Amino acid sequence: MDHNISIRALDVNDLEDLRVMRIRALTLHTGYFMETPEQAKAHKEDYWLERLDNKGKRVFGLYDSATMIGITAVFTWRKDPTGKTGIMGYSFIEPKYRAQGYSSHLYKARLDFALKHEPWTKLHISHRRGNLPSRAAIIKHGFQYVGTEDFNFPDQTCDLEHHYELDLCVLRQDNG
């Protein structure tokens, strides 16, 4: 397949595309995300607009020409009260586009944003046990394993969640 793949930051004009793609991702893979399709469908417009306000966060769309084929995001992590940690999430690529190296676009966009977002000193990412494609991509992009915990996922199961971090200060020095 010949594709014209690109990635770009989403803005308020992309609200409906973001909503549709997020709900599709949750519907196909409820066990890997932190909310259910029903929860996402119930969100009001303000919720989606807040995702796109670019205040300590950025949501990206992955495109094949003009067709959105994936999404990803990086947010300020609520579990860090200092606001110095970003967390990567929302990652989804349409099934027919997987295993073609396009996840590198998702990582590059988020890392580029994180390196410029000075309040953050590190990035956090996690995956559910058994999500080997996510694990491989996380390690490939330099994240270091920091621990595992039991987690109650929205699909009503408890499983292990593996956590990784990337030191942005070191990365900034290396790229400086």
State the amino acid at position 48 in one-letter form. W
Q: What is the pLDDT of residue 176?
A: 64
Global pTM value: 0.88
Q: What is the pLDDT of residue 25?
A: 87
Rounded CA-CA distance 77/86 in Å is 5
Q: What is the pLDDT of residue 159?
A: 76
List b or e across 151-160, with b for residues whose CB sees 16 or more CB atoms inside 10 angstroms.
bebbeeeeee
Q: What is the pLDDT of residue 1?
A: 46
Q: What is the pLDDT of residue 13?
A: 94
Of the candidates 131, 120, 134, 109, which has an alpha carbon nearest to the alpha carbon of residue 171?
120
Q: Where are the domains of the chain?
A: 5-175
Q: Please, are residues 62 and 72 in contact by the beta-carbon 8 Å criterion?
A: yes
Rounded CA-CA distance 159/83 in Å is 27
Q: What is the pLDDT of residue 45?
A: 92
Residue 176: helix, strand or coil by DSSP?
Answer: coil
Q: Looking at domain 5-175, which of 1.10.150.120, 3.40.630.30, 3.30.70.3270, 3.40.50.1780 is its CATH number?
A: 3.40.630.30
* H/E run at residue 46: helix 45-51
Per-residue pLDDT of the chain (176 residues; tens, 9 = 90+): 457 999 999 999 999 999 999 989 888 876 667 777 888 888 899 989 999 988 889 999 999 999 999 999 999 998 899 999 999 988 889 999 988 889 999 999 999 999 999 899 999 999 877 788 889 899 999 999 999 888 876 667 777 889 999 999 998 888 76
Structure tokens at 130: 């058994």
Of the candidates 70, 143, 145, which has an alpha carbon nearest to the alpha carbon of residue 105?
70
Q: Give tens-digit pLDDT for 11-54.
A: 999 999 999 999 898 888 766 677 778 888 888 999 899 999 88
Looking up tokens 């306000």 gives 53
CA distances from 115 to 45, 64, 81, 122 (A): 30, 26, 20, 9
